[in-house]
Structure 1
Amino acid sequence: MAVGAIVRDAHALQAQRIIRDDSLGALYGKKGKGLANLIDNGLRALALMVEQDQTLAQVPPGVMGLIPGETRHIYASSIPDAFRTCVLMYSSIGSLEQWSDEEQVDETAEETNKRFFTEVRDAVLTRSPELRPYFNKLIPLYSGGVPFRFGFSNPRTILNFGILSANRQPSGIKDAQAKLWQLKCSKDYTGVRHAALIFGVPNVEDPTVSPTQKDILRTNIHEIERQADRFEMQFVPV
């Protein structure tokens, strides 16, 4: 069982314990805290050795009780994403919730939103190519205001799109609230009758989403639906 991981990409190297504090406490009682410190120090020592142009295979075994495993080459969108993969593959008592990439949340979320929107647009245009002029429309929120870009707009409907990721739910909620407000303002200004927010959400059967994340996800989806109802709009999770 893996208790920690060392992840390296083209720009950085990071070592992190992936076994949870509560798991160590359950296994070793009061000694769990000392063991956590020992693992943390051992991982830092191993990371320093790797940083000095050594591979894990070359470092001595048993550094503070830690034995390096094999080097694995994986695809990940970020270092936190790589740690999540390590937990999923090698640690049954690791934690997924802690791996949120705070420094890259905005950039990653924007790229994910773009991919989701592109997939939706391409699927729609495959069936109804005549709708192409209505995608990616610029619409002001009020008279004389700076136009905002909406996913879809025609004389009857305004739509916007986004993503609610399991491991970035706070930022996803903020994005949904901002887009609901933009939709409401533009709906009022243009007089369009229908407006909706379409968000991609995780599949409830996704094994990488923890039960806690699923519970929070259900609560967040319900809250966005209620806010959309107050604005007389629809929220459509897909």
Structure 2
Amino acid sequence: MAGPASAEERSLPIPVAATVLTLSGLNFNLSNYMPRQFGGVFARPPYVLRQVRYPASLASDSIARGVAALDAALRDTAGPVIVLAHSQGAQVASHWMRQHANDTSAPSGDRLVFLLTGNPLRAEGGYGIGRREVGGTIGEPTPVTSRWQVIDVARRYDGWADWPADTTNRRAIEAARAGMMRLHTQYDEVDLFAASHTVWTRGTTTFVLTREALPLRAVRSEERGAVQAEIERAYRRPPNDQTYPLQ
């Protein structure tokens, strides 16, 4: 999987070279899988990868300690920076953005970009919005407009980041819960620059939604098209989303 070579080849506001600060999801630091995100495109030159360690756990201070660790890393890093954050790490990044929105000493928007995956606080579909987070706070959407560019990537049907708007749609809930298990930890499989993604912008946030087959297994092949169409009716997709079901 090749990385971006020029501005013309990139439809996303990603620096062609940068220090990439990574925040993993809730995995108790048992492994550092972040170098594999997007096929490892940010784990090789011209990018330099640096892990930001925090509890990444169910501890009540996990997110708060993540915010402090991220802030320290940002202030210790010169030049262009990408914060690559997954799951609880994306919650950490979201809290940092809110806390430092008016902080004139924080890195400026011309050198800091956030790249979020599996974000439970994704403004368009995040499961954690309005629910209690680790630490007791109630989840607020990642700011859609700020002085920083945000690229928020969700695998379609990853229920943590792509939860249905119509929760009476039983099939959609079933698919989203399956995606929580089968898609949420697999952003290494995503080609960030694939032309098949649905991409749209609100404020300073670019949303990316992958094109996926259903994560449900107990659906007969001849029924999958109709089931997927039924599931898609539970979502508020942007006008440029590709026609479903998959053929």
With CA pairs under 8 Å and 6+ residues apart, which has the higher RCO, 1 or 2?
A: 2
> TM-score, normalised to structure 2's length?
0.27
Determine which structure has more spread, i.e. the larger CA radius of gyration: 1
> TM-score, normalised to structure 1's length?
0.28
Q: Would you tell me which structure has more helix in proportion to its own residues?
A: 1
